[in-house]
Amino acid sequence: MSAIGRTLLPALLIAGVSVAAAAQQPKQCELDEGSPNQVARAILDIQLAQTATKPQDATPKLRDAVKLLSEADPKRNPTGKSFVLGKTLVLWMTQPTVVNGVASRGSLGFTTDTAAKYDVIAGIDSAFTVVETANPECATQTAAYRQQKGWVDMVNRMLEFSNSGNTDSAVVLAKRSLQLSKTAPYAYIVLAQAAQKGNQPKDAFSNFKQAIALAKDTSMADNRRQWLMTMGNYAAELAEDAQGADKQAYVAEAKAAFEQLAKDPGTKFADVARTGQARVAQLAGDTTAIKASYADQLANPGAFSYNSLMMAAVTAAKTNQSKDAIKLFEAARKVNPYHRDVLYNLARLYLLDSAYTQAIPVSRELIGVDPSNPDNYQLLAIGYAAVQKNYGTKQKELEAKAKTLGQRANTAKSQAAKSAAIDSAARLDKQIKAYADTSKIFVDSALKYQTAMTSLPGKVVFNEFSPTDAKTTIGGSVQNLGDAAKTFTLKIDFVDKSGNTVTSQTVQVGPIDPKSSKPFKAEATGAGIVAFKYAPLT
């Protein structure tokens, strides 16, 4: 199975809905907060606690509110009492004496079992559940209290744990946060990622779907799309390694995710949706759907970006739609003619399509921007060898014809027939010599690049190129192909779509032991960077 990527989650930038605002209930939610008298007095304590500037000033008021509510007749106005208790416990969650949502009963104001630990989070959930069960129309009000500062702080800590790889702690907080509120997507995403990591796909899909369903707000549109992409890719990865019913189920999950993404791709995810749908079609063996995934790019390539054309081309190439792939790579090359990826892929496909004379100039351009990669020289060696073979074949065909003409001259019954055969053979000799001379040139070229391929001091491999308006990052590794440790100088030119150098960076990589590699990274700033080239390693 492919490695599972981890999507970093954003920290919440909210502080919780204010209690005062939440208290402004719609008319349809009618709760009695005035009886019995202990409830009314607890409301006054809450108001005083809210106006306190220091935690120690709020604490006695909150403790008194809990004490009053504990003393109230449990049979009188249980819904109103529960609502006020829930609000009181929400404020307790902001106090430093409540650690991880737990404190002693006595410290909170309960008058029985004072030494026992009390789960404030469970208490809030229990209190508001009483209200929500008796008055479903009040769920909006309780939801606002459930997502107060204590919940926000918990979710932010959960996200920090998740992003730092502390999955176990993140899961604990995710489950705790869901006790308070099940109407936000963050905890579900953390649980989905933990299920991915634990190889529990059913749980992962279930949590992804709940998160996606809850990310309805327009401010979370790209989060929702990101999660659809992640779920689709995860399901596709599973499908690639599965068989039978499991494979069908994973393909169905991936298909549903990418179809949903395609209906609402925003400005960033249209290509992702197309590529995902193509991947699903490939897994399902649906050639028609594969071709449909890049039909728009093929029909009107000028309307699409370089990345979009490249993704479509790669899809076509992976599914053996070579003619379509070549057209799409050619279109991408027009948009960005100096990018090593399009040059390499196009040259390789030309060779596979027996278009050797087209592959050779593209391979030369590739070496011009990526001169220290033996794979590029191999493309040229293969191209020249294939062309030489074609010339050799034609030479042999002409030699066979010349031999036939010689036999005809030797057996001719008239001088005219003999002379005609000799003249035709003589003309063929010139062509045979031309083919032989040309063949030798291509043999020499093939040998030249074969030698160059095996004589490079080092090999450069790129695994990152991220051009943005603010900064362009490039990264990869250098392998020492020699027999002694060496430090290499890598001079990189960042170029625009016309091949002009925008800026340059020089990176020292090493020392590198023989037959070993070391990574490198370089960053550049400048407008219009779309590709790069570098000088041969020294």
pLDDT per residue as tens digits for the range 234-245: 999 999 999 999
HSE-up of residue 249 (Cα within 13 Å, Cβ side): 9
The answer to whether 179 and 125 have CB atoms below 8 angstroms apart is yes
Report how far residue 182's alpha carbon sits from residue 185's, in angstroms, rounded to the nearest whole number: 8
Per-residue confidence (pLDDT) for residue 524, from 0 to 100 = 92
Look at residue 21 and tell me whether its pLDDT is greater than 60: no
The answer to whether 491 and 535 have CB atoms below 8 angstroms apart is yes
pLDDT per residue as tens digits for the range 340-364: 999 999 999 999 999 998 999 999 9
Where does the pLDDT of residue 160 fall: very low under 50, low under 70, confident under 90, or very high at 90 and above?
very high
pLDDT per residue as tens digits for the range 361-417: 999 999 999 999 999 999 988 888 887 776 666 767 766 776 776 777 777 778 877
Average the pLDDT over 64-72 and give the result.
95
Cα–Cα distance list, 296 to 291, 407, 498 (Å): 10, 60, 26
pLDDT per residue as tens digits for the range 40-49: 999 999 999 9
Per-residue confidence (pLDDT) for residue 435, from 0 to 100 = 62
- Count CB neighbours of 497 within 10 A: 15
β-sheet with 517-524: strand ranges across: 458-467, 472-480, 517-524
Helix, coil or strand: residue 115 = coil
pLDDT per residue as tens digits for the range 473-486: 999 999 999 999 99
Look at residue 174 and tell me whether its pLDDT is greater than 70: yes
Look at residue 530 and tell me whether its pLDDT is greater than 50: yes
Look at residue 338 and tell me whether its pLDDT is greater than 80: yes
**By percentage, how much of the chain surpasses pLDDT 90?**
71
pLDDT per residue as tens digits for the range 302-318: 999 999 999 999 989 98
DSSP string, 408-435: HHHH-SSHHHHHHHHHHHHHHHHHHHHH
ω before 26 within 30° of 0 (cis)? no
Average the pLDDT over 71-75 and give the result.
91
Q: CA nearest 13: which of 219, 230, 267, 193?
A: 219
Per-residue confidence (pLDDT) for residue 406, from 0 to 100 = 72
Average the pLDDT over 156-185 and give the result.
94
Residues composing the chain: 538
The answer to whether 368 and 533 have CB atoms below 8 angstroms apart is yes
- Count CB neighbours of 267 within 10 A: 8
Q: CA nearest 346: which of 327, 322, 367, 329?
A: 329
Per-residue confidence (pLDDT) for residue 420, from 0 to 100 = 78
Report how far residue 340's alpha carbon sits from residue 305's, in angstroms, rounded to the nearest whole number: 16
Where does the pLDDT of residue 18 fall: very low under 50, low under 70, confident under 90, or very high at 90 and above?
very low
